[in-house]
Amino acid sequence: MKFFIDTADINEIKELAATGMVDGVTTNPSLAAKSGKKFLDLVREICAIVPGPVSAEVTALDYATMMKEAAVLRKIATNVTIKVPLTPDGLKACKSLSSDGVMVNVTLCFSPAQALLAAKAGASFISPFVGRLDDIGSDGMALIDDICTIYRNYDFKTEVLVASIRHPMHIVEAAKIGAHVSTMPPSTLRQLFNHPLTDKGLKAFMDDWAKTGQSIL
Which of these, 19, 26, 63, lies nearest to 46 by C-alpha position? 26
Show Cβ contacts of residue 58 under 8 Å, excluding neighbours closer than 6 positions.
65, 66, 69, 70, 73, 82, 83, 84, 93
Question: Domain residues of the chain, as ranges?
Answer: 2-212
Cα–Cα distance measured from residue 215 to residue 109, given in angstroms and rounded to the nearest whole number: 55
Supply the pTM of this predicted model. 0.95
Evaluate whether the domain defined by 2-212 bears CATH number 3.40.50.10210: no
Q: Would you give the DSSP letter of residue 37?
A: S
Q: Could you read off the pLDDT tens digit of each residue along the chain, which spans 217 residues?
A: 999 999 999 999 999 999 999 999 999 888 988 888 999 999 999 999 999 999 999 999 999 999 999 999 999 999 999 999 999 999 999 999 999 999 999 999 999 999 999 999 999 999 999 999 999 999 999 999 999 999 999 999 999 999 999 999 999 999 999 999 999 999 999 999 999 999 999 999 999 999 999 999 9
Q: How far is CA 18 from the centre of its chain?
A: 17
Active site residue 38: no
> Of the residues 75, 83, 92, 157, which is catalytic?
83
Tell me how crowded residue 158 is: count the other CB atoms within 10 A of its CB: 24
Cα–Cα distance measured from residue 178 to residue 160, given in angstroms and rounded to the nearest whole number: 9
